[in-house]
Amino acid sequence: MTKVIAIVNQKGGVGKTTTAVNLAVALGIFEKKTLLIDFDPQGNATSGLGMEKKQPNIYDALIGKSNLKDVIHQYEILPDLFIAPASVDLSGAEIELVSEFSRENKLKFALDEIKDDYEFVIIDCPPSLSLLTINALTACNEVIIPIQCEYFALEGVAQLTTTVEMVKKAINPTLHVLGILLTMFDRRLNLSRQVAREVRRYFQSKVFDTIIHRSVKISESPSFGKSIFHYDITSTGSKGYLDLAKEVIRRCQEIA
């Protein structure tokens, strides 16, 4: 069964797109046929893998102008990774969909036609609890919530988990939080260790064992249009996201 995973946090700067991109690439490295959907109008997942913000893209599939199959491109470097790119046009989709019937199901309807072609679908959501995010939550089975190991780490997470529960009750009964991911961890700082302890105390077994450490290499790689694996395979970031992919695979198998 295909696992559709949304990477969600309404806060910006928590490593959401970095996680979506590098998790998708890591799954591809493990020969899991994976589709990465860039569902953020900023299109950072698209440019972060060195792809042009092409037409047609996910916006066209969302409004019914194109089939999702027609906007998907194979990632040249990795045969098991495919990408549905985004562009700034996606920002207008929320306005265009306001009067549409079943507007929160548009991505799900588009995905239903092709998702069985993949083992994993990773959705990079915008940093907001918008109609686009609701579409992603309606279309997915699982949610991963990245939390940065800095001040106010838990700020807004309660609102996000409430939204997830509302979507689960009203629209998508299969929705499940796969895990909470600690990002930007700096072992030199007491603050990082304190935040990690607090998150684990609050969310307990929901927190992934894997921690993504703060890394200059991870920060640099998107500007070169590369994943961390193709930018510096020896980095701690590469090891972290490979470990995360293993943990995601295992957790998905346990709840299958």
Count of structural domains, the chain? 1
**Distance between CA atoms of 216 and 234, rounded to whole angstroms?**
13
Domain extent at residue 204: 3-255
- The per-residue pLDDT string of the chain (256 residues; one tens digit each, 9 = 90 and over) reads 899 999 999 888 889 999 999 999 999 999 999 999 999 999 999 999 998 877 799 999 998 899 999 999 999 899 999 999 998 888 888 788 877 778 899 999 999 999 899 999 999 999 888 899 999 999 999 999 999 888 777 777 888 888 899 999 999 999 999 999 999 888 788 888 888 888 898 889 999 999 999 899 999 999 999 999 999 999 999 999 999 999 999 999 998 6
Longest dimension (CA), the chain: 52
Dihedral angle, C-alpha 20, 33, 209, 232, nearest 10 °? -60
Domain of residue 62, CATH code: 3.40.50.300
From the centroid of its chain, how far is CA 44?
A: 12
